[in-house]
Amino acid sequence: MIHPIPPGTRDVLPDEMRELRRLHLSMVDVFERFGYGEVRTPTIEYDDVIAQGEGRAAAGAYRFFDEQGALLALRSDMTVPIARLAATRFSDADMPLRLCYVADAYRAVRPQRGQMREFTQAGVELIGAEAPGGTAEVIEVLEAALDAAGLTRAVIGLGDADMHRQLLEGWGVEGEACDVALELLARHDLVGLEAHLIALQSVNEADRRTLVELSQLRGGREALAEARELGGPAVQRATMRIQETYDALDERGAADRVQIDLGLLRDLGYYSGAILEVYDPAVGHILGGGGRYDKLMARYGADLPAAGFSLYLERVHVAQMEEERILRAEAQQ
Amino acid sequence: MTGVSRVPRARAGGRLKVAVPRGALFAETLEVLEKVGIDVSELRGDSRSLVFDVDDFELVTMRPSDVPTYVEAGAADVGITGKDVLLEQADRVVYELLDLGYGMCRMVVAARRGDDSMSEAQRRLGGMRIATKYPRIAEDFFESTGRQAEVIDVKGSVELAPLVGLADGIVDLVATGRTLAENDLEVREEIVTCTARLVANRVSHKLRAAEVDDLTAKLREATGQ
């Protein structure tokens, strides 16, 4: 007899579970080594409390009423619940606060795309530590976590979440027109971006080229130099922020696998300043991401700078298997 | 916020994999690739192979509508396909790097010449029936213009639908308009102009930046865009 489960969910059987558990434990080991204590938060939260952190009307994709009629939501990531937890449980604690987690989160799926509604994230949150030192620490932990997973070829993209908006606003592109441009940039639809900016008319051709060229700059320090040549105060501020983070990483000997990327833009609403993405050459999708969210804690009444990252544990597992396969194939040759 | 996809397991490394569309864009795509110095003579032959190793590239030939699937998964690092395909599969996460300019077509609403069943259905039945191979583009277009339409997804010759009464009109891609004319159909509205586009996998765009940028620059020059 076949008894179905909802699309986007799955059963994990012993062979896979054994490997996932090992990966889970090795992640927590790394996090603990850097002084990050593991926490667990409820899978269900009050919808309005989570929405407060996400800064938008509707939080989770899955919302329902409890027996009292209260609106609950399944969490869509762990950063917002941990911000809530930190503001509530550690309001008098010494800063910075170092917390980590390995937990399931829930997101909506588009039909027939093989997407997961339920997936596992492993990550850390560093609360009360400012840029650039705090950002560099988080990246160092991320590198150690990737190494522990055997993903020594993985690369971390480092960008700035505020640069594009500031640049556009400096040119007088605001409100919806700005949001559309940012969305096109996040999707990296460069053809659409040019067309959108041309239609706006307020942006001259040189500025248009600047924005498109900036989004293509990625690499080592030379990318920052090239960005500065493109100019403008918003670019200067952003490159300065990235430079400081990169220098702090360099001091820790942790800059080698970081790729500066001025085209990086993430679609989560709470990021500010540094943003991160994780790639491995063995797989075609990002393995995780993170960055600074200096304004998120204030939404819960604790005005503290913060940064963190999360890895999609199942994707890391796939990358792990692919990297092992590549090694095996190379060994056979 | 949308769901997290299962991870595709295609691997980067080795030659840069380029998805080349067969079909209407094939000939012009080969011309452009030739202009940037890629030897495409093997692809021109009547080989039944699907994959061709040429210099630093692995050219992978496929249906244009499969290009976003392969590129999103990283099974191809970059690819060329029509904007019509990208619009219809707008939920595929691929980077659109360049408008290559060729393969110009119009996505149009068409109906039988002199026939007013579209407007009559609209007026008396509240909506019209539209047959198309591009259900998403059609739905978005009618919704964005405030009209109701029942979109009927067909796979073969769309022109047939209004002739036999399956639909009041069609949404389809038109290059010369000859097929429409031969079936006694006429263009009623134009939705969007489509050309060939260069797309990239988001991880390849980061991890093989130099190669992707170099190919993009050469293609930009070759197509005069």
Domain ranges across chain B: 16-104+196-223, 105-194
Is CATH 1.20.140.10 correct for A14-158+276-332?
Answer: no
Residues 6+ apart with CB under 8 A from B178: none
Residue B192 in contact with partner chain A when CB distance is under 8 A = no
Residue A191's identity, in one-letter code, is: V
Residue-wise pLDDT tens for chain A (333 aa)? 889 998 889 999 999 999 999 999 999 999 999 999 999 999 999 999 998 888 664 456 899 999 999 999 999 899 999 999 999 999 889 999 999 999 999 988 776 666 789 999 999 999 999 999 999 999 999 999 999 999 999 999 999 998 998 899 989 998 899 989 998 998 899 999 999 999 988 888 888 888 989 999 999 999 999 999 987 888 999 999 999 999 999 999 999 999 999 999 876 677 888 999 999 998 888 999 999 999 999 999 999 999 999 999 999 999 999 899 888 888 887
How far is A195 from A205, CA to CA, in rounded Å?
Answer: 11
Chain B: closest CA distance from residue A216 (Å): 8
- Of B5, B7, B11, nearest to A326 by CB-CB distance is B11
Of B201, B212, B204, residue with least CA distance to B72: B201
Contact in structure between A63 and A72 (CB atoms under 8 Å): yes
Helix extents (H) in chain A: 14-33, 47-54, 79-89, 133-148, 163-170, 175-187, 190-200, 205-214, 221-230, 233-251, 313-332
Residues 6+ apart with CB under 8 A from A105: A74, A75, A76, A77, A78, A118, A119, A120, A121
Quote the tokens at residue B73: 């998964």
Contact in structure between A281 and B11 (CB atoms under 8 Å): yes
Residue A326 in contact with partner chain B when CB distance is under 8 A = yes
ipTM for this prediction = 0.82
Residue A62 in contact with partner chain B when CB distance is under 8 A = no
Residues 6+ apart with CB under 8 A from A325: none
Residue B96 in contact with partner chain A when CB distance is under 8 A = yes
Count helices and strands in chain A by DSSP H and E runs = 11, 13
- Of B5, B95, B207, nearest to A115 by CB-CB distance is B5
User: CB distance B205–A285 less than 8 Å?
Assistant: no
How far is B68 from B76, CA to CA, in rounded Å?
Answer: 9
Considering only CA atoms, give the Rg of chain A: 21
Contact in structure between B39 and B55 (CB atoms under 8 Å): yes
CATH topology of domain B105-194: D-Maltodextrin-Binding Protein; domain 2 (3.40.190)
User: CB distance A285–B74 less than 8 Å?
Assistant: yes
Pairing status of strand B78-82 against strand B196-200: antiparallel
CATH class of residue range B16-104+196-223: alpha beta
pLDDT at B153: 95
Cis peptide upstream of residue A132 (ω within 30 degrees of 0)? yes
B105-194 matches B16-104+196-223 in CATH topology: yes
Residue B14 in contact with partner chain A when CB distance is under 8 A = no
Any idea where the domains of chain A sit in the sequence?
A: 14-158+276-332
Chain A: closest CA distance from residue B8 (Å): 6
Tell me the chain A residues in contact with residue B75 when contact means C-beta distances shorter than 8 Å.
Answer: 284
Contact in structure between A309 and A124 (CB atoms under 8 Å): yes
What digits encode the pLDDT tens for the residues A26-47? 999 999 999 999 999 999 999 9
Q: Which residue of A has its CA nearest to B212?
A: A216
Q: Which long-range contacts (CB under 8 A, 24 or more apart) does A200-209 make?
A: A200/A173, A202/A171, A202/A172, A202/A173, A203/A171, A203/A173, A207/A171
Global confidence as pTM: 0.87
Quote the tokens at residue A22: 């090992």
